[in-house]
């Protein structure tokens, strides 16, 4: 570990530098013939227009996801620290692999949209990271990042370019894909010899408090996440508005049902940290469509209810004699696992 991790990290960074030197160039404005009725913005102006949205997404990746994973009492440093490390590698690799698929044999052009999409690709790994927090070494996380982002890029190209599916908020290509990928990794790492709950598999007051900080950052900036790459104009406006309303409605129902299903009407911090984000995930696929504000609120309300009830009641049992996790619970926008150290009880991070 003393030498293998530094050598592997340095080797990957040198590889990234070489790949960028050979295949990546700046995105340049084409020669634009000025017309009085021209409505399309030059790329330089588009960069400045999208940069605030990129900043919001960047905060979600490095602060939101990082602090959301601090719920385990012994792994606060790992969650925030490895989150930074994985995201820094992932955004570089994401630019390369997504650029290869979309450049059609030309050099990869880096601009504001490719930066946003690179951040999106890292979100997939960070969602999966929640399923294996406390179980994987930094070297394993390096390997997982490289493999998952490559798989994500192929899946995103298949969904968006081949199937032409609408997924402006990437609910399918990021959240669902990241959740299932993390489940698969947790299944591979499962050790049947471990049966009892590990002493470090619990949260304390301050760990839940820090995790709530991550929730707040994600909740605040989620409208930017869902609208960042939407078509400018009405579609982008609708994506932000629908996400805003869906999240707000989701919070009310998540709190209400958390109190309803918890002993003596108390609020469960797991519900508050995760189910309150389910509205942003649920509305992501149709966020830019003309569905009406009230429909977005219905979607968010339903997502909050389903997330809390799923966490509380929905259990799919599998035999212990196998390589995969034994019990699965559906939760909201990220993974949580009870018995993380033997992957026996995993909460899957999707909105439905």
User: What is the residue-level pLDDT of the chain in tens, covering all 352 positions?
Assistant: 678 999 999 999 999 999 999 999 998 865 444 444 445 666 667 888 899 999 999 999 999 999 998 887 777 887 899 999 999 999 999 999 999 999 888 899 999 999 999 999 999 999 999 888 878 889 999 999 999 999 999 999 999 999 999 899 999 999 999 999 998 998 888 766 555 556 666 778 888 889 999 999 999 999 999 999 999 999 999 999 999 999 999 999 999 999 999 888 889 888 899 899 999 999 999 999 999 999 999 999 999 999 999 888 874 433 333 333 333 333 433 334 333 333 333 343 433 3
Q: How far apart are CA 226 and CA 135, in angstroms?
A: 31
Q: How far apart are CA 186 and CA 174, in angstroms?
A: 18
Retrieve residue 336's tokens: 């949580």
pTM of structure? 0.84
Which of these, 47, 53, 61, lies nearest to 127 by C-alpha position? 61
Which of these, 46, 22, 27, lies nearest to 109 by C-alpha position? 27
Retrieve residue 33's tokens: 């013939």
Kind and range of the H or E element at 121?
helix 112-132
Q: How far apart are CA 115 and CA 117, in angstroms?
A: 5
Q: How far apart are CA 300 and CA 282, in angstroms?
A: 7
Retrieve residue 19's tokens: 């790949």
Q: Torsion-angle region of residue 336: left (phi > 0), alpha (psi -120 to 50) or beta?
A: beta
List the beta strands (DSSP E) in the chain.
Answer: 24-26, 108-110, 316-317, 327-331, 336-338, 345-349
Spatial neighbors of 242 by CB under 8 A, at least 6 apart, are 226, 283, 286, 287, 288, 291, 293, 296
Kind and range of the H or E element at 235?
helix 234-261
What was the pLDDT predicted at 103? Answer: 86
Spatial neighbors of 141 by CB under 8 A, at least 6 apart, are 82, 85, 86, 129
Q: How far apart are CA 255 and CA 272, in angstroms?
A: 7
Contacts 24+ apart (CB under 8 A), 199-202: 200/72, 200/73, 200/74, 200/75, 200/134, 200/341, 201/72, 201/134, 201/338, 201/339, 201/340, 201/341, 202/72, 202/73
Which of these, 12, 178, 11, lies nearest to 92 by C-alpha position? 12
Supply φ then ψ for residue 331, to 5 degrees: -130, -145
């Amino acid at each position: 570990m003393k030498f293998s991790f530094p050598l592997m990290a340095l080797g990957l960074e040198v590889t990234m530098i070489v790949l960028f030197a050979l295949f990546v160039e700046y995105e340049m404005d084409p020669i634009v013939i000025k017309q009085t009725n021209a409505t399309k913005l030059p790329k330089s102006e588009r960069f400045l227009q999208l940069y605030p949205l990129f900043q919001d997404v960047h905060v979600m990746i490095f602060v939101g996801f990082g602090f959301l994973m601090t719920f385990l009492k012994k792994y606060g440093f790992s969650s925030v620290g490895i989150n930074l490390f994985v995201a820094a590698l992932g955004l570089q690799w994401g630019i390369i692999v997504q650029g290869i698929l979309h450049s059609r044999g030309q050099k990869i052009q880096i601009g504001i949209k490719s930066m946003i999409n690179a951040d999106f690709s890292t979100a997939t790994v960070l969602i999966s990271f929640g399923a294996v927090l406390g179980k994987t070494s930094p070297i394993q996380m390096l390997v997982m990042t490289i493999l998952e982002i490559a798989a994500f890029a192929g899946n995103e190209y298949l969904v968006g370019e081949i199937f032409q599916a609408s997924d402006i908020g990437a609910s399918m290509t990021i959240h669902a894909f990241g959740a299932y990928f993390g489940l698969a990794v947790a299944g591979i790492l499962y050790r049947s010899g471990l049966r009892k709950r590990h002493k470090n598999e619990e949260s304390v007051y301050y760990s839940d408090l820090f995790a709530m900080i991550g929730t707040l950052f994600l909740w605040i900036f989620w409208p930017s996440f869902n609208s960042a790459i939407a078509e400018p104009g009405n579609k982008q406006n609708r994506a932000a508005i629908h996400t805003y309303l869906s999240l707000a409605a989701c919070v009310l129902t998540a709190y209400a049902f958390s109190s309803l299903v918890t002993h003596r009407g108390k609020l469960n911090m797991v519900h508050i940290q995760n189910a309150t984000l389910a509205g942003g995930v649920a509305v992501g696929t149709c966020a830019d469509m003309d569905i009406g504000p009230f429909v977005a609120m219905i979607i968010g309300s339903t997502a909050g209810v389903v997330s809390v009830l799923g966490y509380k009641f929905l259990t799919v049992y599998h035999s212990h004699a196998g390589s995969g996790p034994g019990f699965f619970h559906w939760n909201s926008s990220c993974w949580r696992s009870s018995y993380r150290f033997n992957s026996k009880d995993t909460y899957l991070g999707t909105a439905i």
